[in-house]
Amino acid sequence: MSCGALLAQVGTWLDYLVIVMYLLLILGFGSFFGRYAKSTRDFFFSGSKFSWWLIGVSLIATGIGSHSFMKYAQAGYEHGLSSGMAYMNDWYVIPLFMFGWLPIIYFARVRSIPEYFQRRFNGAARFIATLVILEYMIGYIGFNLYTLGTAAHQVLGVEVWQAILVISLVSGIYITAGGQTAVIFTDLAQGFMLLTAGLLLLILGLDHLALGGTLLDGLRTLWQNLSLAERLPFAHFNQPQSFNFIGVFWQDGMAGSLMFLFVSQGLIMRFLATKSVNEGRKAIVFNTLLFMPIGMIVVGNAGWIGNAMVATGLLAAPDNARDIFVAVARQICQPGIFGFVLAALSAALMSTIDTFTNAAAALFVYDVYQPYVRPGATDRHYMRTARLASAVTALVGMGVAFFFMTLGTDMYEVHAQFQAFVTPPIVVAVLLGAFWRRFTSAGALAAMLGGVVCIALSKKFPVLVQPFAHGVAPGADGQYTYMTALFGLVCAAAIGVVVSLLTKPKPPDEIAGLWVGTMDFGMRRFKGGEPNHEMGRRVVAGLTIADEGTTPPTTATSYDDYASGHGGPPADPTGPPPPEYAIVRLCAAHLERLKARPGDLLYVADARRWLGGLRSLHCRAGQPHERGPVVLMAAAAFSSGSFVAGRAVRVEKVL
């Protein structure tokens, strides 16, 4: 078949077929996990039982939206290899996350960022955080849907609204059915898919550039067509105004990374779905060190290839640089493969919006419905509300996407300006709350409101940002688009610190476990006893159902049960009492290998590692038994962990 004939088929039946098959498969795959959502804790946090690799890969899928391919391919085409520098400047804030924020929210059993604001500050702070985060998430869903709809229109000729409708329905259905577990497993599949598609584009592109030679020849052509500035990992320090190092450093590297790790409800829920804090640390390390650099190549390479193709005359320069991804994909992909790339684009979108949809539903249930509309209801009632909230969120996101359709502004600018407005103040409130005991409720409110006011003022009087601009020139509209993030961070922090020093902080016992200096207390409360830090080794053993000395778990984790059973949140403002874990018994040799003692917190999972903890349960170690190398567990606990009879289990000590 000639090249011309092949191109004629691009965007025809074969590509449609691949896309439809992908959508059906992901719909079925996601909906399958509905059976594992037995409580709100399962629906929103997957029972906190998953392994790091499941979370790590799903995180990269969440982080890459459909707009990422368009945005970074455009940057790669215009500026070269520095297009993805935002993917490689997160490491500086990782210590604060790994040993600060992650253990705080995990051990305090925080279910949402606004809930943290309530417990650390007060109800007014929670209210503001709820509004800001909900607005951010809904806007993000709509923005991603609009981007994909635009791409689908350009490539397949379908109407923008049709693409938005189909994607919203598919993702809405499986999120409503399966909750967080469906989100994590579909994101895992979609993560592999978009990584494969991105790397496939790179290989096909290099092959195209090689003109019949090897991939190395293609790489040589790509490299030789880049100027020195385009070869470097960073853009020019402060030029041009629209894309420079310093703007990306403060907007994406600092404000964006802090927002992503500390304030993004979807990300927080993902980390709360890990089986332990240690597992969350593994997930963030692998995500940042390995998957992010790969992601940078995946999202940017179409732009790099396009740059070389245009320079060598293999591709006509597109009228608009933002179309480079589609132009390159169209040129180098055969029918079917092109459909796969488009399906990957959908995967990038769905893996982002499913996370945000589930997170927005959690926010609605935990921060609006439960405290204000229907306190004290049963978990079963909240579970129904959670499913309904997921469906409604999907519909609202779709409506916002239709709104973006009529906006007609440059997509990168809209996204950047939105982030610049809301991100810095709320990031400052979380950071100071988590790392400064003296930070007060009044300080938090002042930082959030004052920060937004300052940013609004800087839009009216851009000269205010000039001292922070590092020599970046203002745009044609007189605004310092990206440097506003630094200005906002400094203003919000200054206001928060000054107001805190002038007001009275909460007593230490009211914020115990909610800031970094009280992690030992947090661990003790989480475990319900003194933590055991001795490092042991895993145990693999048979699982036997037995009643002697074993107990079942409570039906759900404590906070939900406590709140619903006591007509609202617990009186203790520092958090709920520890849950009643099931008690399991191991032989003395296994306890010794684990370095565990009776009363320690254990994690029992199906020994098949590829399940990632899907069949697992947190338990407490009981007295050692003398029935040999088996784990004794009550029948109710066996059922609660979805274990399979006859299958071996893996036991680890958590604390």
Which positions touch another protein (CB under 8 A)? 80-81, 88-89, 91-96, 98-100, 103, 220, 223-237, 245-246, 249, 253-254, 278, 281, 285, 288-289, 293, 311, 435, 516-517, 519-520, 533, 535
Q: How far is the CB of 101 from another protein (least distance, A)?
A: 10
Q: How far is the CB of 235 from another protein (least distance, A)?
A: 7
CB neighbours of residue 558 within 10 Å: 20
Q: How far is the CB of 522 from another protein (least distance, A)?
A: 9
**CB-wise, 293 or 399, nearer to another protein?**
293
Q: How far is the CB of 58 from another protein (least distance, A)?
A: 21
User: 321, exposed or middle or buried, with CB in 10 Å at 0-12, 13-18, 19+?
Assistant: middle
Q: How far is the CB of 412 from another protein (least distance, A)?
A: 20
Q: How far is the CB of 331 from another protein (least distance, A)?
A: 18
For 315, the 3-state DSSP assignment is coil
By DSSP bridging, strand 539-545 and strand 649-653 are: antiparallel
Q: How far is the CB of 214 from another protein (least distance, A)?
A: 16
- List Cα–Cα distances, 52 to 182, 266, 389, 557, 608, in angstroms: 16, 16, 28, 21, 15
**CB-wise, 220 or 597, nearer to another protein?**
220
**CB-wise, 44 or 97, nearer to another protein?**
97
Q: How far is the CB of 294 from another protein (least distance, A)?
A: 13
**CB-wise, 460 or 533, nearer to another protein?**
533
Counts of helices then strands in the chain (DSSP H, E): 27, 6
CB neighbours of residue 524 within 10 Å: 18
Residue 173's Cβ-side half-sphere holds a number of Cα atoms within 13 Å equal to: 15
For residue 368 the two structure tokens come to: 């609006």
**CB-wise, 490 or 545, nearer to another protein?**
490
**CB-wise, 151 or 523, nearer to another protein?**
523
Question: Which residues are within 8 A (CB) of 404 and not within 5 positions of it... i.e. 6 or more apart?
Answer: 142, 143, 145, 146, 414
Residue type, 438: R
* Dist. CA 513–CA 506, nearest whole Å: 13
- Greatest Cα pair distance in the chain: 78
Cα angle 223, 227, 231; round to 5: 60
Q: How far is the CB of 203 from another protein (least distance, A)?
A: 20
Label residues 433-470 b or e (16+ Cβ within 10 Å = b).
bbebeebbbbbbbbbbebbbebbeebbeebebbeebbb
* Dist. CA 484–CA 643, nearest whole Å: 52
* Dist. CA 193–CA 356, nearest whole Å: 20
Question: Which residues are within 8 A (CB) of 239 and not within 5 positions of it... i.e. 6 or more apart?
Answer: 472, 473
Q: How far is the CB of 223 from another protein (least distance, A)?
A: 6
**CB-wise, 310 or 591, nearer to another protein?**
310
Q: How far is the CB of 515 from another protein (least distance, A)?
A: 8
- List Cα–Cα distances, 526 to 62, 104, 634, 655, in angstroms: 28, 10, 23, 9
**CB-wise, 225 or 555, nearer to another protein?**
225
Q: Which helix (H) or strand (E) holds 601?
A: strand 601-606
Q: How far is the CB of 289 from another protein (least distance, A)?
A: 6
**CB-wise, 53 or 435, nearer to another protein?**
435
Q: How far is the CB of 496 from another protein (least distance, A)?
A: 16
**CB-wise, 94 or 465, nearer to another protein?**
94
**CB-wise, 23 or 94, nearer to another protein?**
94
**CB-wise, 205 or 579, nearer to another protein?**
205
Give DSSP secondary structure letters for 252-302.
Answer: IIIIIHHIIIII-HHHHHHHHTBSSHHHHHHHHHHIIIIIHHHHHHHHHHH
By DSSP bridging, strand 616-621 and strand 582-584 are: parallel
- Terminal Cα distance for the chain, rounded: 63
Q: How far is the CB of 107 from another protein (least distance, A)?
A: 11
**CB-wise, 214 or 623, nearer to another protein?**
214
**CB-wise, 405 or 519, nearer to another protein?**
519
Residue in 579, 589, 574 with CA at minimum distance from that of residue 554: 579
Bond into 579 cis (ω within 30): no
For residue 406 the two structure tokens come to: 């009529």
Q: How far is the CB of 219 from another protein (least distance, A)?
A: 10
Give DSSP secondary structure letters for 62-105.
Answer: HH--HHHHHHHHHHHHHHGGGGGGGGG--GGGHHHIIIIIHHHH
Residue in 325, 339, 429 with CA at minimum distance from that of residue 72: 325
**CB-wise, 235 or 298, nearer to another protein?**
235
